[in-house]
Amino acid sequence: MSGDADSISFPEANITAVTAIAGVLATTYGPTPQDKFVGKNLSSKNNSTPGEVSYDDYVVTSDGAAILEELPLEHPIAPVVRRIAGPEVPGESDVEGKQIADGTTGTFILTASLLDEAESLLKMGLHPTSIRRGYRSALSVARDTLSTARRLLSTFEDPRATELAVARTTMTGNDVGGRGEMWAEFAVRAARTVGYPTPKQFGIEQVKAGSVGDSRLLRGTVLPRNEIAHEDMPTRATDATVLVLDGYKREDAGDGRVGGLRDPELQTEATIQANPHTDPSEYETIHSDRRERIIKSLVDNDVNVVVTRLGINDTFMQSLVDHGIIGIRGVNRIKLHRIARATGATVTKNPNDIDASVLGTAGLVQEELVERRQSRRKRRRIVVFDDCPDPESVTVLLRGTWSALADETTRELRKATAAVATARGDWKGEQGVVPGGAAIDVGIAKSVRDASPANPSRSQLAMEAFADAAESIAWALSKNGGLDPIKTVADIRASDDHRYDTGILLSEGTIGSATDAGVLDLYAIRDDSYVQAVEIANLILGIDEAIDAEFKQTPADEGESIYDDRAEKHADHLEETDNSGSVWDSV
């Protein structure tokens, strides 16, 4: 998607870019969305059918954040808008604590409507500054209305039922496999156990075998790419005591890595001082004594499961087999920390120092057989940790899903869990819910229109425009649901509802109490949506020209720079980069 800034003037060029993005997202909004197919890479294979276009990599989804992430946006303003309204998704990142994107589509629809209204005001002769001032005043009224309509979960007769309603509302139209009730239950249980779903606290693992209905929420985690290390080890342990071993580099071991259950590695170049009476087997005795101490420590502490990030060598492996201890090796960092959080263990780097304080507990550790490997007779195995007594990490084991279906289920589960946690106040403390079904948006429009006469005349026009833009949410929901937008919005406006609870109930094709119907939006998300929409709109309205700023590799001549100190810094930077190998060579 691109735009030609030279063909139309600013800010109209940027308004066109944003409204184009909103046009793509508009039909994905609400409980009756249309999916979008975003093809990212053309297939490298020859097409057998003339005119056929196939893709190696593609996304099929109605999730606004996912679509926005994949769209090939080329207009200069588009990446700025994408960063503001579409934060990165933790499920696809190992950075802990990022907010899971929600409300992206609604934010864009509102932003585009604000800009569309602003464009009309600009043609009437209103200055961008007056429009921006009016939008800020209207935003203050909108946030007050949201705050008035907000309800904490504790004020509902059944808070858990309300949490389920929040999860269902978040996934409405995306209840993959028709299992919306099951996914909502998973989301509520996960949020109540671990809070906001960071990657270390909430995992989703996919297995093709079985059916979607076989999926389950583990009070623990699963290792989908690991097996029990030896065929003679037990494949099941109940009330298991778990040791979690990380790995690291030790300075006095050269490049040798220490960790797991292995003998320390010697430096690449090492000198051993020996005398004629030294028995070479004594050097092996040192390692043997160390192994015996470690195994004795495991047995004395009743450890029956050892999980390592690095390896388990043959001698340690046989000792574990002899004592009936399960060994699992080669576990990646994120999953290692999930096991530690689930079992209550402390990730330990030194196996020489093991005591009860670093050990965890799992009600069940079990190896399970799943789908057959391609081109092999051997079936794939996974290791499940479940029934942990007080887990700080849980995992959904998805069965019968793969490819785009699995990715869509993962996104929706993360969003639903994040929504419940946010409603409970586990994210930034802005807890609570507001009526959904565009009830709060039409209510905001009413409040802004009531407040507009108290503002200067030009700002009044912008506030009225803001009110019209707020109702665009109701228009989008009605249109996507096959209802008459004009009649629907008029009926909501006419309702005598001072709590702004009358909204669109698309399941029934009518309007009514959104709260009674369990159609609930997050206060934090809706508040953030209005704030972001106004910020984006005002940012775009404040840009009146595009300047192509190009960094030159030659210093500015005397008289070419308005500020002498900038020219000096430019020259100093070029000199430093030349002396240090030139940063330009690596770009």
String of DSSP letters for 359-391: -EEEEEEEEEEEEEPTT-SSEEEEEEEE--SS-
Phi-psi region of 308 (alpha: psi -120 to 50; beta: other; left: phi over 0): beta
Check pLDDT > 90 for residue 578.
no
User: What is the mean predicted confidence (pLDDT) over 338-344?
Assistant: 96
String of DSSP letters for 524-551: HHHHHHHHHHHHHHHHHHT---------
pLDDT band, very low/low/confident/very high, at 105 (cuts 50, 70, 90): confident
Q: 230-283, pLDDT tens digit by residue?
A: 999 999 999 999 999 997 655 444 444 556 788 765 444 445 555 565 555 555
Q: 451-466, pLDDT tens digit by residue?
A: 999 887 788 999 999 9
Q: In angstroms, rounded to a whole number, what is the distance separating the alpha carbons of residues 152 and 155?
A: 6
Of 136-140, 200-204, 207-211, minimum mean pLDDT range: 207-211
| Predicted local confidence at residue 361, as pLDDT | 97
Check pLDDT > 90 for residue 328.
yes
Residues in the chain: 587
Helix (H) or strand (E) holding 472: helix 472-480
Check pLDDT > 70 for residue 439.
yes
Q: In angstroms, rounded to a whole number, what is the distance separating the alpha carbons of residues 381 and 227?
A: 6
pLDDT band, very low/low/confident/very high, at 426 (cuts 50, 70, 90): confident
Distances (CA, A) of 344 to 127, 341, 351, 357, 577: 61, 5, 17, 10, 50
pLDDT band, very low/low/confident/very high, at 498 (cuts 50, 70, 90): confident
Mean pLDDT of the chain: 79
| Predicted local confidence at residue 438, as pLDDT | 92
User: What is the mean predicted confidence (pLDDT) over 47-72?
Assistant: 57
Distances (CA, A) of 128 to 108, 459, 467: 20, 11, 18
- In this structure, which topology does domain 225-268+277-390 adopt according to CATH? GroEL (3.50.7)
The residue ranges of every structural domain in the chain are 12-39+55-151+434-541, 225-268+277-390, 553-582
| Predicted local confidence at residue 31, as pLDDT | 61
Q: 551-566, pLDDT tens digit by residue?
A: 455 555 554 444 445 4
Q: Does domain 12-39+55-151+434-541 have CATH number 1.10.560.10?
A: yes
pLDDT band, very low/low/confident/very high, at 97 (cuts 50, 70, 90): very low
DSSP one-letter code for 312: B
Check pLDDT > 60 for residue 33.
no
User: What is the mean predicted confidence (pLDDT) over 126-130?
Assistant: 91
DSSP one-letter code for 132: H
pLDDT band, very low/low/confident/very high, at 583 (cuts 50, 70, 90): very low
Check pLDDT > 50 for residue 46.
no
User: What is the mean predicted confidence (pLDDT) over 288-312?
Assistant: 91
String of DSSP letters for 268-310: SS------TT--THHHHHHHHHHHHHHHHHHHHTT--EEEESS
User: What is the mean predicted confidence (pLDDT) over 323-347?
Assistant: 94
Close Cβ partners of 437 (under 8 Å, ≥ 6 residues apart): 477, 503, 504, 505, 506, 511, 514, 517, 519
Of 221-235, 326-340, 394-408, 480-494, minimum mean pLDDT range: 394-408
Q: Is the pTM of this model over 0.75?
A: yes
Helix axes 128-149, 523-541, angle to 10 degrees: 180
Of 41-50, 213-222, 298-307, 438-447, minimum mean pLDDT range: 41-50
pLDDT band, very low/low/confident/very high, at 324 (cuts 50, 70, 90): very high
| Predicted local confidence at residue 59, as pLDDT | 64
User: What is the mean predicted confidence (pLDDT) over 518-530?
Assistant: 92
Q: 373-386, pLDDT tens digit by residue?
A: 555 556 788 999 99
